[in-house]
Amino acid sequence: MDDFSVGQILFVLMSEENQVLPVKVIERVTRETSLGETRMYIVVTGVDDKQYDLSKIKGRPFINPDDVRVEMLTNVTRVIDKIISRAQMIASTKLDVIKVINQNVEKSSDID
């Protein structure tokens, strides 16, 4: 997990919902054991006054809202690409669309 500062505002892109949750880091707890050091962040949300362990929130924290936007656009683009790819596969295997597209290309070439 990244290193966040107390008082820092984070934007959590929720995993299970299309939602961005703003949170504020109110506590950073560092534990050092023989296995190494771990950090835990306690945050509050803009939704309620409860405190949450950031690692228990199902989502990915971002420092910059523009980075959240890029991640969301990347995710949406990936989904759209899958949908289109699937439609093309169905069209080419079930509807002979490649043959139709090739015929349309040949017809448009004849016009030129």
> How does pLDDT run across 24-45, given as a tens digit for each residue?
999 999 999 999 999 999 999 9
- Predicted confidence (pLDDT) per residue in 73-109, tens digit: 999 999 999 998 888 888 878 776 556 565 665 666 5
Residue-level pLDDT at 98: 58
Return the C-alpha torsion angle 44, 47, 52, 55, nearest 10: -100
Which structure tokens are listed for 64? 């910059």
Q: Where are the domains of the chain?
A: 1-63, 64-112
DSSP for the chain, please give it: -----TT-EEEEEESSSS-EEEEEEEEEEEEEETTEEEEEEEEEESS-S-EEEGGGSSEEEESSHHHHHHHHHHHHHHHHHHHHHHHHHHHHHHS-HHHHHHHHHHHHHHH-
The neighbouring-strand residues paired with 10 are: 23
